[in-house]
Structure 1
């Protein structure tokens, strides 16, 4: 009862190289078989036509010979037939099938067909006898003392030599066909072995990656489709390696960043718990209030850090919500949230309508991060300048500029790295993930974000996003 499954498993285990070899052999076998069959049928038909034509021509030539006549009214003697048809069987018969004259020759097969020709019902006929002879009969008019009467000249030739020739031809065609199939199978094996060698390397590399996690690229030779496939596979391995390294760095950096607030939380909690123990010195109300403020600040820092980590984790998640977005509305919503925690920082805003297809919440989070970053580094009473307008090339540019100290030249290449914080930023609240989230959102929407220095001397962040004017 399990035989069908076993057979299916055996069919599935046939290698691609074997399938290519079998396909090449089958294609050649089919082609050679058709060509051989066509050649055999053509030669066979021509040989049989030649036999028929030879019998007809010789019979008619014998009847036209000057020696054929005295007994038939043509003025010559019948024995000339013996000379004209000496190497074939022949006979002159009447309508009853009897010989009109016996020349001592071998008599051809006589049937109702030949008697009908002798009776004058048909001019001639050709057929194959059951003994393998080709028999041709042609009507003849005889004149003798009894008057004019009908007869037939019947000639026949054995088909044995013709069949023997066709049998030899069939054997030669079979041998040639077999040799062609063998050569095709060998050629298919060679082509499959050579052509599938890159595929085998890819297979071994895939198995190595699955078994060991080793993401080293494989060797690429040539410039054909398989070489391009190998190159694409190496590109994929490189991307996987980069993603794995980024994941490791993210985990390591997150662990490092979480360790500080967690240690501080634990220290403060242990201090509070120790103060409540019997016989332990009590803390003053002011000390308890300071510890509670520290706990709240550390919890806020942890909450922000975890939120930023979750946002970064969406990089590999499916982009489920893509819809028309009015970018000016996104910026205005982010401004409303930024103003509530900006204190005496003012915002100078100029926005031009711009629409795109994207993830509205992700864009709002990115814009809010830019605004919060500008507020964090702006001195009291200064202004954050926000501009949104078309760049003229199918992109809009959102610029956020502050009047703070700006970004040092050595920090510019790394401001968008995860957990990177400049020396000035280390004393300020934040996780070092805000600008990384901005860059991630811009890249996901087909844009980019750049950092520089504003005309006021502070930091300038420019985010380019594709779309169209509203």
Structure 2
């Protein structure tokens, strides 16, 4: 994968290249440290061996007691004959050489001073590239020199081997890093392709998930996001389709009545009686009211689906009282029995009041004349309270219970009554936005019982 150019003109290195470079760099660093440590350890040991060898040979020579005959009248210390593979010189304190090898080692004043101080002198001679030791010997000085050439050659060979092995390790690490990056980043590539596919085509099909590592969990989370987006799209399409279906009926009736009125105004056409005109006008007002309510409910439901607004302290009992005041004005022939206990929470007062009003309107709509609607708000366990609205109407059939909170759902009995089928859906949305839930069942009077559970506290929340 080649580097790509960023908007600023700089080349952006791909993640795969960065992983490969990181693996190679880590291995190179580790190999370099190990090689340096091995080289320094071997170098120290080799030089220590040279010093040990020179010290041992010098000690053996000094401790040798016998004298060797080299010719008539010529006698030399026999210990000097044991010196091999080193350069040797036996010198007097004044610098005169008594005996030496063919190549005389380098001798300086510090070496000659050993005869006086009786302390061995160690040094490295750069000119002859040798390690030199001078020790006191028979009123003189014994100077031994060991060449460092073979040792340096060994160290050079070791450096070459370590360099080759390290280089091979870096190459292998780069290849392995590339393979690991290609394999490990395959889910990321799938995510990238899926994102590009969604952006270009809107296709929300999930991607394949392999394994159970972090990238697999990322892919699973991405699939959950796609599923959520797909569900939102499906609900949006269903809302539009249901809204179109619900709007079609009042619009068709409205258009029919308007066309009938307009046709009656044309010359040479049958005229409508005053009674017919009043009926048509009443139908028009009812259809406009129905259309207005439906549009208002749709707007309210769309607002409920919006992101949460800033919440504030809400006195739920006060919210219920305000909704009851509006419901009483709308239904003067229905009696309300109210039992409200204190309950406080953080939320949106307007949303909660609209939900409570929808519950009350629903109860009023199905209540018989002079019926009673019971409203109570009371705390329950685990920091929740229940707002229950019960009526004495026909109740909810068992087959309708699972669907009463669905958008645009209307039972057979409710189809002849005014409404959009969105009221209880708005109640459910409001409860869920506040961390609660809704329930439906039968009341003690045989009518419907709708309950909304809300979290909060019986004490004011500061």
- Confirm or deny a common fold (TM above 0.5): yes
Q: Deviations over 1:417-441 (max 9, x none)?
A: 1111111111111111111111111
Q: CA deviation at 1:448?
A: 1.0
Partner-residue secondary structure (3-state), 2:99: coil
Partner-residue secondary structure (3-state), 1:421: coil
User: In structure 2, what is the Cα distance between the partners aligned to 1:355 and 1:447?
Assistant: 14
Q: Deviations over 1:241-289 (max 9, x none)?
A: 2111110010111111122222333333444444555666665555554
1:47 to 2:50 alignment? no
Q: CA deviation at 1:399?
A: 0.9
Conserved? CA contact 1:67–1:77, under 8 Å: no
User: In structure 2, what is the Cα distance between the partners aligned to 1:346 and 1:253?
Assistant: 34
Conserved? CA contact 1:124–1:139, under 8 Å: no
Describe how 1:151-300 pairs up with structure 2 within 5 A.
151-276=140-265, 286-300=275-289
Q: Deviations over 1:17-71 (max 9, x none)?
A: 332222222111111111111111111111111112221222232112213799x
Query: 1:397 maps to which residue?
Result: 386
Partner-residue secondary structure (3-state), 1:63: helix
1:106 to 2:106 alignment? no
Query: 2:78 maps to which residue?
Result: 80
Q: Deviations over 1:313-363 (max 9, x none)?
A: 124422122122221111111111111101210111111111222222111
User: In structure 2, what is the Cα distance between the partners aligned to 1:261 and 1:104?
Assistant: 126
Query: 1:147 maps to which residue?
Result: none
Describe how 1:428-443 pairs up with structure 2 within 5 A.
428-443=417-432
User: In structure 1, what is the Cα distance between the partners aligned to 2:84 and 2:433?
Assistant: 100
Conserved? CA contact 1:67–1:78, under 8 Å: no
* Structure 1 residue ranges without an equivalent (≥5): 71-75, 143-150
Partner-residue secondary structure (3-state), 2:441: strand
Q: 1:93 aligns with which of 91, 114, 125?
A: 91
Q: Deviations over 1:165-202 (max 9, x none)?
A: 11111122112212222222232233223322333333
User: In structure 2, what is the Cα distance between the partners aligned to 1:261 and 1:20?
Assistant: 64
What RMSD, in angstroms, separates the aligned Cα atoms of the two structures?
Answer: 2.7
User: In structure 1, what is the Cα distance between the partners aligned to 2:366 and 2:6?
Assistant: 72
User: In structure 1, what is the Cα distance between the partners aligned to 2:30 and 2:389?
Assistant: 73
Q: CA deviation at 1:408?
A: 1.4
Q: 1:135 to 1:292 in 2, by over 3 A?
A: same
Aligned length: 452
Q: 1:138 aligns with which of 135, 139, 144?
A: 135
Q: 1:90 to 1:335 in 2, by over 3 A?
A: same
User: In structure 2, what is the Cα distance between the partners aligned to 1:41 and 1:9?
Assistant: 46
Describe how 1:284-433 pairs up with structure 2 within 5 A.
286-433=275-422
User: In structure 2, what is the Cα distance between the partners aligned to 1:96 and 1:164?
Assistant: 36
Q: CA deviation at 1:221?
A: 3.0
Q: CA deviation at 1:9?
A: 5.7
User: In structure 2, what is the Cα distance between the partners aligned to 1:358 and 1:167?
Assistant: 79
User: In structure 1, what is the Cα distance between the partners aligned to 2:252 and 2:109?
Assistant: 121
1:126 to 2:115 alignment? no
Q: Deviations over 1:91-147 (max 9, x none)?
A: 123445332x034542001234434445649642322322311112224461xxxxx
Partner-residue secondary structure (3-state), 1:385: strand
When structure 1 is superposed on structure 2, of 299-308 and 25-34 the one drifting more is 299-308
Q: 1:258 to 1:57 in 2, by over 3 A?
A: same
With normalisation by structure 2, the TM-score equals 0.90
User: In structure 1, what is the Cα distance between the partners aligned to 2:316 and 2:437?
Assistant: 15
Q: CA deviation at 1:15?
A: 3.1
With normalisation by structure 1, the TM-score equals 0.88
Q: CA deviation at 1:207?
A: 2.6
* Structure 2 residue ranges without an equivalent (≥5): none
